[in-house]
Amino acid sequence: MSLASKSVGRRERNKQEKLDRITAAARELFSVHGVDEVTTQQIADKADIGTGTLFLYAKTKGELLLLVQNSSYVDALERGRAAAGTTPDVLDAVMAIVRPVVECNRTQIDNGRTYLREMLFGDPEEPHHRDALALSAETEEAIVAILQRDKNVTEAEATAQAHIISAIMFVSMAATVNIGSTVEDLLQGIRSQAEVLLDPKKSAAGR
């Protein structure tokens, strides 16, 4: 390996190590105090870096929150896919995807709602925001794959239904009226609406 290659490799490792420290520091402070009560200086101090270095990785607290939540979202989506893979019923499998995402978002309610707001109104060209949108798209793709277990459902139909379920989940987590709702309350509401969408006859018969 050339000296140049070693230098690049070391530089990349240093960048990743700093990013890991920033993510861990922001996650801990946001979890304990909430995003609104934490300053970027506190995060930089806890990560043992300068604020100038911090801003190379994220320019605002909103971007830092996206960084933190995206990391948790990746793990949640992985758990959901694994659970859905062993769940034969379509609606149950969809909810297996939804559950860990909702649980992840509601770990700290204000942070979760702020994350959704950043996703909706943030700069789509900002890397952490772009990652958040990509994760949302991956979630819908996972739901599409489940819905297409039913051979009577076309890809276009599954894509539209998955988009609606994603919107239901998003609104349920973000709505002010649901601030006091538990994870189980939210999941029940999402499931009821998804059932009407996926199997209206069965839903009507259950009423």
**CATH topology assigned to domain 1-57:** Arc Repressor Mutant, subunit A (1.10.10)
CATH 1.10.10.60 maps onto the chain at 1-57
Residue 95, C-beta contacts closer than 8 angstroms, at least 6 positions apart? 187, 190, 191, 194
- pTM value? 0.85
What is the pLDDT, as a whole number, of residue 3? 44
Walking along the chain (207 residues) 10 residues at a time, the average pLDDT comes out as 56 87 93 92 94 90 92 96 97 98 94 92 88 96 97 95 97 95 97 92 50
Question: What is the pLDDT, as a whole number, of residue 203?
Answer: 47
Predicted confidence at residue 204, as pLDDT, reads 47
Residues of the chain with CATH 1.10.357.10: 60-205
As a whole number of angstroms, the distance between CA 176 and CA 113 comes to 9
Q: What is the DSSP letter of 2?
A: -
Per-residue confidence (pLDDT) for residue 25, from 0 to 100: 94
> What pLDDT score does 166 carry?
97
Task: Residues 60-205: name the CATH superfamily.
Answer: Tetracycline Repressor, domain 2 (1.10.357.10)
* CA 144, 146, 147, 150 torsion-angle sign: positive
Predicted pLDDT at 124: 85
pLDDT at 174: 95
d(CA 43, CA 50): 10
Query: Would you state the pLDDT for residue 207?
Result: 47
Cα distances from 40 to residues 123, 187, 204, in angstroms, run 19, 34, 51
